[in-house]
Structure 1
């Protein structure tokens, strides 16, 4: 491969053709006269880029350099050089032992963080959570780890609780059952860590409302927007009228979806809704029993009934 020389070649010229343009052979490292082919200089050091450029590719990560980028949450020990196994005589001592060895520079604290970050990324990937939530979860875990206030709790439980908190702080809350399903710890253990983390970090999360889950539950059930709108209105009115005191927002949302779907053409059973919302059939039934007597005043005024309130399932 050859290319026209740049400004660094101006000091060299061909004795027979001093005005001729020099051509650089990158493979051999030679400077060649373009008129007579005389090698004017050899062993020229190429100061250009020694890696392929990926700037025009659509990949999110630029692989022009190998190795992992520095993690600001670690002490920097995640950047290390790994020496491969020797293959020639130059890599061994006279007694047959390897001359060069990898030195373990990562401390135990960074190793714990890396394992936790890996677990958090895997949990988030299972339910398609964005990177912003993963980054917030990693930051929360590091803060908890540095304070050492949750000694005795497993790192997996702390990571799951941090993910639950991050989801709520980012406005995309998930239920304890959903976090439990993607982790390796129990719902009870996640709940304990959740309370301890809030106390230790002196932070808070917004209260969960029925609207936080309504769009996701209705989407997973395949319900149209008009049913979702009606269910959201029913749940909001039920809370405002204090019809469901002490009931969790998730159970109220599930009961509202059941009531709205039964009044529409897209009917869903309590079991179908319970599987999506992560609540038992009896829990939905109990909330439904509380809101059904006031069903007339709960529906939006423009709702088109496929089944009249008189013919809806009795609680």
Structure 2
């Protein structure tokens, strides 16, 4: 190897051609003078990504030296070495048993966490939740698991309740029925775990309002912005003048959507709205009956009626 210094700085260059650019041979790890071919630097480390992969090889084994990303929720289990299956005669003893085997170093705690995180990711994918909610759900489950606050409860129920809490804390709440639809747990069990987790972690969630669900329900039903805006105003005014006491925000939102749609040319039935909102037809009907006598005060002033208020359904 030959090198020299230019301008009193430690710069590797060819002594015969100090101004010639160097060519890097990444395969050999050498730096070569572009003028005379002299190797002026060797053992250069390639810090780039290893793009070569063997995942399409037979057997489904990928011997790539680049492992998966480290998971901070697991207790150092990512820093393990996996020994591939032996193929030569030297890999087996006289009885045909592999000489080198993977030791089962994953403890029960990490195994439980892995299964729960996998289930959380699967549930979130079914209802198209973003990665931020998945991360918050994973952290909540990790806190509950480490604190051992819900002993005796199924991990699937805890994971479902953590997903429900994460959705509300991130400002995109989902109903209990929506969480039940993507999990194997009943609404009653998720509700119990939800209360226990809030108490154990000493955390809280914001109260849900009709506005949290209105845009999503109307978009799923294919209603125009005019109907969505009217339904939002109707639900808000109904809550302000307290004409639907004791009713859940979801049932109020569903009844408001029904009233606004019936007054427009995009009419939706109670069953159509109930299937999307997860509310029974009788629940929508009961809330609508309370709101109907005050319909003239609930609609926004600029709403364009296709069906006048006096011709709205009287259930």
Alignment TM-score > 0.5, same fold:
yes
- Contact 2:30 2:44 survives alignment (8 Å): no
Instruction: Find the residue that maps to 2:133 and give its secondary structure.
Output: helix
Equivalent position of 1:15 in the other structure: none
Match of 1:10 among 3, 17, 40: 3
1:78, CA displacement in angstroms? 3.0
Equivalent position of 1:66 in the other structure: 66
- Contact 1:69 1:79 survives alignment (8 Å): no
Q: 1:28 to 1:156 in 2, by over 3 A?
A: closer
Equivalent position of 1:235 in the other structure: 235
Instruction: Find the residue that maps to 1:123 and give its secondary structure.
Output: helix
Per-residue CA deviations over 1:263-282 (Å, capped at 9, x if unaligned) read 01111110110010011111
Q: 1:139 to 1:33 in 2, by over 3 A?
A: closer
| TM-score of the aligned structures, taking structure 2 as reference length | 0.84
Q: Tell me the distance in 1 between the aligned counterparts of 2:182 and 2:302.
A: 40
Equivalent position of 1:257 in the other structure: 257
- Contact 1:116 1:155 survives alignment (8 Å): yes
| TM-score of the aligned structures, taking structure 1 as reference length | 0.84
1:36, CA displacement in angstroms? 9.5
Matched pairs, number: 292
Equivalent position of 2:291 in the other structure: 291
Per-residue CA deviations over 1:222-253 (Å, capped at 9, x if unaligned) read 11111111000000100111110001100000
1:91, CA displacement in angstroms? 2.1
Q: Tell me the distance in 1 between the aligned counterparts of 2:39 and 2:237.
A: 88
Structure 2 unmatched ranges of 5 or more:
5-14, 53-63
Structure 1 unmatched ranges of 5 or more:
1-7, 12-17, 55-63
1:96, CA displacement in angstroms? 3.6
Equivalent position of 1:110 in the other structure: 110
Equivalent position of 2:225 in the other structure: 225
Q: 1:86 to 1:210 in 2, by over 3 A?
A: same
- Contact 2:2 2:39 survives alignment (8 Å): no
